[in-house]
C-alpha cells in the first residue's frame, strides 16, 4: 500500500490581527477625541446682568 503524507493545513490568524488593529484604532480615536474637550474656550458671564 502507498504511503500518503498528509500535512495539516496551517491555520490563518488574520482575524486576530484585524481585531488588534481595530482595538488600537479605537483607543487612538478615543484618546484623540478626549483632547478636544481641553481645548474649549471658557465662557464668561456678565456680572452686571447677574446682579439685576
**11-32, pLDDT tens digit by residue?**
788 999 999 999 999 999 999 9
> What's the mean per-residue pLDDT of the chain?
79
Query: What is the pLDDT at residue 46?
Result: 64
pTM to 2 decimal places:
0.46
Query: What is the pLDDT at residue 4?
Result: 84
Query: What is the pLDDT at residue 33?
Result: 83
Cell numbers found for residue 4:
500518503
Q: Alpha-carbon Rg of the chain, whole angstroms?
A: 29
| Mean local confidence (pLDDT), 32-45 | 64
Instruction: Give the ranges where 1-52 is alpha helix by DSSP (H).
Output: 14-38, 47-51
Cell numbers found for residue 13:
490568524
Amino acid at each position: 500500500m502507498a504511503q500518503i503524507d498528509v500535512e495539516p493545513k496551517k491555520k490563518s490568524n488574520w482575524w486576530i490581527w484585524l481585531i488588534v488593529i481595530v482595538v488600537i484604532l479605537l483607543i487612538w480615536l478615543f484618546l484623540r477625541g478626549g483632547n478636544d474637550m481641553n481645548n474649549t474656550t471658557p465662557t464668561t458671564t456678565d456680572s452686571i446682568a447677574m446682579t439685576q
